[in-house]
Structure 1
Amino acid sequence: MRLEIGNFHIQDVDFGDETVFENGLLTINKEKALQVVYEDDRITDADIVIARPNDPIRITPVKDAVEPRCKVSDDAMFPGVTNKLVPAGTGRMHVLKGGCVLAVGKHWGGFQDGLIDMSGPGSYQTMFSYLVNICLVADTNEDEENNEQQKRNTALRHAAMRLSEYLGECVRDMEPDGLEVYELPPLNQSDDRVRKLPGVVYVLQLQSQMIESGYNSLVYGWDTGNMLPTLLHPNELLDGAVVSGSFMPSSSKISTYQHVNNATVKRLMWEHGVTINFLGVIVSNLNVALEEKQRSAMRVKQIANSLGAEGAVVCEEGYGNPDTDFILAISELEDAGIRTVGITNEATGRDGRSQPLVDLSIKADALVSTGNVSQLLRLDPMEMVVGDLQSLARDGNSGGWEGSIKADGSIEMENNGIFCADANTGNHFKTVVEY
C-alpha cells in the first residue's frame, strides 16, 4: 500500500472573500465555512475564531482537534464517519500543515474536554499551543447532554471534521511544498534482507469504556467497544480510518489530529527496512470487565505471534481502569517472547508519590512516561477566552473543580484538563527531569 501526503505549510490564517491558500496564508470565507458546519441541524449557533501561537488567548472547552486536509485521489476522508465507507491507506492526501480545526463548546463542557493556552506557561503543556488554531465555537440542541458530565459531542466533533475537509479542498489542485510517501508491502512480498530484521508491531489501545454508542473511538465508523483487536496497515491510521472518541480525561485523549499524525507510527515506518521489519498496527480497545480485558490482551498476543513479531510498542489512551488492559497486553506479549515497550502517562498525585499505574507487573520493565496527569498548574489570566472559561469548574472538567477560576481570571487546575497534554502517540516535547 502506498500513501502520498502532500504538505502545504501554513504561516497564518485570516478571513476574506474566498477560501484560498497562497504564499503560506490560508484565507477563509467564514460564511461559506459556516454553511458546512450548519449542514447538521443539531448545531444551533456557531462562529469561527482564529488563535495564533503567542496570542494572549485561552481556549476551552476543547472537544477534538482535526487537521485540515482533503483526499485528492478517488477516496474519502474519515470513511464510515462523515463520508462513505471505503478502504483507507492508499492514494494521495493534501494537508495544510501547521493549522488545526478545534471543536470548542460555546457554553457546555464536560469531563472529557480540555483547555489550551496559546501563550504563557500553559502553552508548554500541549503541542496544540504551537499551531494556528481555527476554533469552531458552537452550541447544539443536544439539551439532554448539557447537564451530563459525559457528553457525546457528536454534532460538534463531526462538524469539525467537515470543516477541516472544506478547508483542505482549497489545495486540492495545487502542487505541495513537499511530499511524504508511506509504503509498506504485504508481508509475503518483503525481501529477504527485510525479513531478517526484527519484526515489530505497534499496539494502539483506543478508549472504548462506554456501553452506549457515540462516546467511544471509531475504526471505519465502528464503535471500538464492540470490536476484537484487529490488524491495520499503518497507512490506514495515517489516512483517517481511526477517529477520536469523547470519553477520556483530556490530557490522556488521543485527538483525531494525532491519529493521522501518529509520530510513533511514522518513525516505525521510517525505520522499516533499516533497523526493523514493521509488521503493522494492532488496534485494540480498553474495556471495563476483566474477562473483556483478558480477551483483548490474548487476541493482541495471537495476532502478534501470527505475524512473527519479536518486538512490540503498546500505546495506552488514558489511565486508571485502562491500566489493567495496558499491563495485561504487555504481559501477554512478554510471555510469548515478544519484547515490549509501553507508552503511557502516570497518575502519581500532585506530590508525585502515588503509584503511577493502577496495575503493575515485573514483566512491564520498559515503560515510557508521557507525564503526570495530577501535575498542579497555576496559570495567569488571558486577555481573551475562546469558548467558556466557567466550564472548567462548572461542568466537571477532569482537571478543574469548584474554585479553579479566581476572581482575576487566573486559574488553578491539574494537567488532567489540558487538551492532549500527555500525547501518548509521540507528538510530544516534554521530558523527564532527573532529581
Structure 2
Amino acid sequence: MRLEIGNFYVRNIIFGEKLSFESGILTINKGEALTYIRADERITEAELYIAKPGDPIRICPVKEAIEPRVRPDGRGVFPGYTGDLERAGNGTVHALKNCSVLVVGRHWGGFQDGLIDMSGEGQKYTYFGQLNNIVLVADTNEVFEQREQQKKNDALRRAGHKLAEYIAQCVKELKPEETEVYDLDALIRRGEDVEKLPSVVYVMQPQSQMEELGYNDLVYGWDMNRMVPTVMHPNEILDGALVSGSFMPVSSKWSTYDFQNCPNIKALYREHGKTINFLGVIMSNLNVALEQKERAALFVAQIANTLGADGAVVAEEGYGNPDADFVGCIVALEDAGVKTVGISNECTGRDGQSQPLVTLDEKCDAIVSCGNVSELIELPPMEIVLGELEALGRDGLSGGWAADEKLGPSVREDGSIIMENNSMFCGDQVCGWSPKTMKEF
C-alpha cells in the first residue's frame, strides 16, 4: 500500500476575496467559508479567526484540531465520516502543513475541551501553539447537552472536518512543495535483509470507553467501542481513517490532527529496513468492564504473535480507567514473549507524590512518561481570548474549577488563570510530539 502526501507549507494566513494558496500564503474568503459552515442548520453562531505563533491570543474551550487536506481524485478525506466509505491509505492526498483548523465553543465547554496559548509561557504546553491556526468559534442548537459535563459536540466537530476539507480545495490541483511517501510491503513479501531485523508492531489504544454512541473515536466512521482489536495498515491512520472523539480529559486526547500526522508511526517508518522490520499497527481500544479489558489484551497478544512480532510499542489515549487496559496489554504482550515499551502520561497529583498509573505490574519495566496531567500551571492574562475563558471554571473542564479552598477560581478577575495540565489541549502529546524530558533531583 503506497500513500503519497503532497505538502504545501503555510507561512501566513489572511482573509481576502478568494480562497487561494500562493507563495506560502493561504487566503480565505471568510464570508464564503462561514456560509459553507452555516449550511448545517444546527450551527446557530459562527465566526472565523486567525491565530499565529506569537499572537497575544488565548483559545478556550478547544474541542478539535484537523489538518486541512484534499484528495486530487475527489474522494473524501475522512471516509465513512465526511465522505463515502472507501479504503484509506492508498493514493495521493494534498495537505496544508504548519496549519490546523481549531474548533472552539462560543459559549459551552466540557470535560473533554481544553486551552491553547499562542504566545507567552503557555505556548509551550501544546503543539498547536506552534501552528498557523484557522479558528472556528461556533455554537449550536444542541441545547440538550449544553450543561452536560460530557458533550458529543457532533455539529461542531463535523463543521471543523468539513471546513478543513473546504479550505484545502485551494491546493487540489497545485504541485506540492514536497511529497512524503509511505510504502510498506505486505508481510509475506519482504526481503531477507528486512526480515532478519527485529519485527516491531505499534499498538494504538484510542479512546472508546463510552458505551453510548457519539463520544468515542471513530475508525472509518465506526464507533470504536463496537470493535475488538484488529490489524491496520499504518497508512490508513495517516490518511484519515481515524477521527477523534469527544471524550476524555483533554490533555490526554488525540485530535484528528494527531492521527493524520502521528509521529510515532512516522518514526517507526523511518527505521523500517534500517534497524527494525515495521509490521504495522494493531488497532486496539479502551474499555470499561474488566472482562472487556482482558479480551482486548488477549486479542492484541494473539495478533502480535501471529504477525511474528519481536517487539511492540503501546500508546494509550487517556489515563485513569484506561491505565488498566494499557498495563494489561503490556503484560499480555510480555507474557507472549513480545518485548514491549509503553508510552503514557501520569497522574501523580499536584504534588507529584501519587501513584503514576491506576494499576502497575513489574513487567511494565520500559515506559516512556509524557508528564503529569495534574501539574499546576499558572498563566498571566492574555490580550485576546477566542471563545469563552469562563468555560475553564464554569463548565468543569478536566483541569479547571469554579472554586478551590486554597487556590481560588481557575479564572481570576484580571484574566489570569491557574489550572492543571489536564486542561491543555492535547498537551501530553502521547502520540509522539512530546518535547518533555526527565530530570533527577
Tell which deviates more after alignment, 29-38 or 226-235. 29-38
**Aligned runs of 1:274-289 on 2, under 5 Å?**
274-289=274-289
Deviations 1:57-77 (A, max 9, x none): 100000010001111235321
**AA aligned opposite 2:258:** Q
Deviations 1:175-215 (A, max 9, x none): 11111000001111111111111111000001111111100
Q: Please state if 1:432 is matched with 2:431.
A: no
Aligned residue number for residue 163 of structure 1: 163
Aligned residue number for residue 341 of structure 1: 341
Instruction: Kindly indicate whether the alpha-carbon contact (under 8 Å) linking 2:310 and 2:337 is maintained by their aligned counterparts in 1.
Output: yes
Deviations 1:251-295 (A, max 9, x none): 000000000100000111111111111111111111000000000
Instruction: Kindly state the Cα deviation for residue 336 of structure 1 after the two structures are TM-superposed.
Output: 0.6
Distance 2:185 2:358 in 1: 39
Distance 2:228 2:322 in 1: 16
Q: Secondary structure at the match of 1:285?
A: coil
Deviations 1:107-126 (A, max 9, x none): 00000000001111111101
Instruction: Kindly state the Cα deviation for residue 28 of structure 1 after the two structures are TM-superposed.
Output: 0.2
Q: Secondary structure at the match of 1:55?
A: coil
Instruction: Kindly state the Cα deviation for residue 300 of structure 1 after the two structures are TM-superposed.
Output: 0.5
Could you list the runs of 5+ residues in structure 2 that have no partner in the other structure?
403-408
Distance 2:20 2:440 in 1: 47
Q: Secondary structure at the match of 2:206?
A: strand
Aligned residue number for residue 413 of structure 1: 419
Distance 1:35 1:21 in 2: 20
Instruction: Kindly state the Cα deviation for residue 345 of structure 1 after the two structures are TM-superposed.
Output: 0.1
**Aligned runs of 1:98-137 on 2, under 5 Å?**
98-137=98-137
Q: Secondary structure at the match of 1:323?
A: helix
Deviations 1:94-136 (A, max 9, x none): 1110111001000000000000011111111011000011100
Distance 1:109 1:78 in 2: 25
Instruction: Kindly state the Cα deviation for residue 6 of structure 1 after the two structures are TM-superposed.
Output: 0.8
Aligned residue number for residue 34 of structure 2: 34
Aligned residue number for residue 193 of structure 1: 193
Instruction: Kindly state the Cα deviation for residue 350 of structure 1 after the two structures are TM-superposed.
Output: 1.1
Deviations 1:126-178 (A, max 9, x none): 11000011100000000000010000001101110100011111001111111
Distance 2:270 2:75 in 1: 25
| Number of equivalent positions | 435
**AA aligned opposite 1:378:** E
Distance 2:313 2:130 in 1: 27
Deviations 1:229-270 (A, max 9, x none): 011000000001011010010100000000010000011111
Instruction: Kindly indicate whether the alpha-carbon contact (under 8 Å) linking 1:251 and 1:417 is maintained by their aligned counterparts in 2.
Output: yes
Identity %: 60
Q: Secondary structure at the match of 1:324?
A: helix
**AA aligned opposite 2:163:** L
**AA aligned opposite 2:423:** G
Aligned residue number for residue 405 of structure 2: none
Distance 1:434 1:132 in 2: 35
Instruction: Kindly indicate whether the alpha-carbon contact (under 8 Å) linking 1:72 and 1:92 is maintained by their aligned counterparts in 2.
Output: yes
Aligned residue number for residue 250 of structure 1: 250
Scaled by the length of structure 1, the TM-score of the pair is 0.99
Instruction: Kindly indicate whether the alpha-carbon contact (under 8 Å) linking 2:75 and 2:83 is maintained by their aligned counterparts in 1.
Output: no
Q: Secondary structure at the match of 2:151?
A: coil
